[in-house]
Structure 1
Amino acid sequence: MTLANILEAIILGVVEGLTEFLPVSSTGHLLLAARYLKFEGDDSFVILIQLGAILALLAVYAERLWRIATALPKDREAQHFVLGVLVAFLPAVVLGVLIEHKMKQYLFNVPVVCYALIAGGLVLLAIEQFKIEKRFSNCYVLPLPVYLKIGLFQCLSMIPGVSRSGSTIVGGMLLGLDKRSAAEFSFFLAMPTMVGAFVYEFAKSYKTMTTDNLGLTAIGFVTAFISGWFVVKTLLDFVSKRGLALFGWWRIVVGVLGLAAYYTMG
């Protein structure tokens, strides 16, 4: 394990933690970063550092999750919200099982990621200009059809570079949620989605995992946890006050640079 390997693991861990919950696409950023850093770790590295980001989200929301869990047997609002999250989660489960292999076969490449980053950036800039009627300011009591529609928007993130959080936040805003509520629900929907994706990928890959890069994986895991924790703690206030335009410009810049590197260096 060289110093260069350690720095690469730190960078990729930070990239995973920062981008997993921002509307900028963690999958796209990780694919580009790993390619241009020439990272030589196996698939287990990416799978396991994602667990660090998942645990960061669960750690920040632990108290709130406990309140929902303890209220669940008797509280109708808690029951409705949990059902809503499951309804929103369902489309990604069905579509993921049906087309996940084809998506990875045809869409997981640099040009697709970069064009998706640019397109998503333009969407974030555009939605900041729309005057959408705000009908909901509480993501805990949405009608079930709204939860389902947000889940359908999340399915767009199966295209690498689109962003799971970006698609759910934009979808929520188009359906009448204010920015803060849309971003907060994206966190709750991330929990079953990320845990499900992690378990699915781990079940497919655990037999081929090795301990050769265990140290690098541990470094990436810790940095993903720390950076993910920071994002979850600060994102809601940032989106409420500053909006999504900064993330839109970031996506466009990264997408353009990624295409320039691809077409000049290959």
Structure 2
Amino acid sequence: MNMIHVVILAIIEGLTEFLPVSSTGHMIIASSAMGIASDPFIKLFTIAIQLGAILSVVVLYFKRFFQSTRFYFKLLVAFIPAAVFGFLLSDAIDKLLESALTVGITLFLGGIILLFVDKWFNKPLITKEEDITFPIALKIGFFQCLAMIPGMSRSASTIIGGMTQKLSRTAAAEFSFFLAVPTMFAATAKKLLDYYKDGHTFTGDEIKFMLVGNVVAFIVALLAIRTFISFLERKGFRLFGWYRIVVGGIIIALYLSGHNLEVI
């Protein structure tokens, strides 16, 4: 891995973390294409730099994060399902992260769903985070568990989950952003702990790569969030659906034609 790889992956992360297209899936494909995906540090890096992107949410929605204790409890309730299933299914999730074909299939299927989401859930009743109840937060949390499958997209899973509970597109997207904060903090902490348990330590270059990757992801994500919300309010999800179908279809076609797309 070199600094060019770092910047490329961090830009991909910043652009895709909050879009319903799967940041993890895109980084798996990119790292595989660059021939660096088999390195244990890369697997840690692709998770850890998501933290930089997530911190952009705290900056952009700073006042919302300090408005009430009820807000934190709702995030905690929504976070619980991912925490439980993430702990129980850790090994299975790691194996799925090694398959580019899995990414292709889930991108394709998720894209089909996004083509129809706007029509299925077009009568929202909740437009503000304050109106989200604890039961609704918990249900959204269960939807977030779908994102443990690479290519599903945490953002897509939680936004669609919110819309099934009568949230508007904007309200669902913003709650998805908020929920990302505790989720990615926990995911990064667990990945770091596992990395050390396996006997790995950071070299000077790897520490530098981590710092640069998180900073780049943070800056790019700041720009991506505002653009996404504006686009979502005006256009909805269809474009993202077609994008996922095209990218997923290409990955599946390459696999069926004999190309080796496995990450390790």
TM above 0.5, yes or no, is: yes
Partner of 1:20: 17
Give, in whole Å, the separation in 1 of the partners of 2:94 and 2:44: 16
Partner of 1:265: 259
For structure 2, which runs of at least 5 residues remain unmatched after alignment?
Answer: none
TM-score by length of 1: 0.88
Contact 2:104 2:249 in 1 (8 A): yes
Percent identical: 42
Partner of 2:201: 209
Contact 1:157 1:164 in 2 (8 A): yes
Q: Note the alpha carbon deviations across 1:38-80, whole angstroms, 9 max, x for none.
A: 12652343243222212222222223323x2xx43xxxxxx2x
Q: Does 1:139 align with 2:120?
A: no
Deviation of residue 103 (structure 1)?
A: 2.4
Q: 1:260 to 1:181 in 2, by over 3 A?
A: same
Deviation of residue 214 (structure 1)?
A: 3.7
Task: Name the stretch that deviates more: 227-236 or 195-204.
Answer: 227-236
Q: Note the alpha carbon deviations across 1:6-64, whole angstroms, 9 max, x for none.
A: 33222111111111111111111111111011126523432432222122222222233
Q: 1:64 to 1:107 in 2, by over 3 A?
A: closer
For structure 1, which runs of at least 5 residues remain unmatched after alignment?
Answer: 73-78
Q: 1:204 to 1:177 in 2, by over 3 A?
A: same
Q: Note the alpha carbon deviations across 1:218-255, whole angstroms, 9 max, x for none.
A: 43222211111112232222211111111111111111
Q: CA RMSD in A?
A: 1.9
Q: 1:172 to 1:48 in 2, by over 3 A?
A: closer
SS at match of 1:129: helix
Give, in whole Å, the separation in 2 of the partners of 1:216 and 1:142: 39
Partner of 1:45: 45
Give, in whole Å, the separation in 2 of the partners of 1:106 and 1:193: 19
Q: Does 1:31 align with 2:21?
A: no
SS at match of 1:23: coil
Contact 2:79 2:182 in 1 (8 A): yes
Deviation of residue 107 (structure 1)?
A: 5.9
Contact 1:44 1:209 in 2 (8 A): no
Q: Which runs of 4+ in 1 moved over 6 A?
A: none
Give, in whole Å, the separation in 2 of the partners of 1:194 and 1:134: 28
SS at match of 2:120: coil
Partner of 1:64: 64
Deviation of residue 106 (structure 1)?
A: 4.6
Partner of 1:247: 240
SS at match of 1:210: coil
Task: Name the stretch that deviates more: 125-134 or 177-186.
Answer: 125-134
SS at match of 2:21: coil
TM-score by length of 2: 0.88
SS at match of 1:208: coil
SS at match of 1:151: helix
How many aligned residue pairs are there?
A: 253
Task: Name the stretch that deviates more: 10-19 or 100-109.
Answer: 100-109
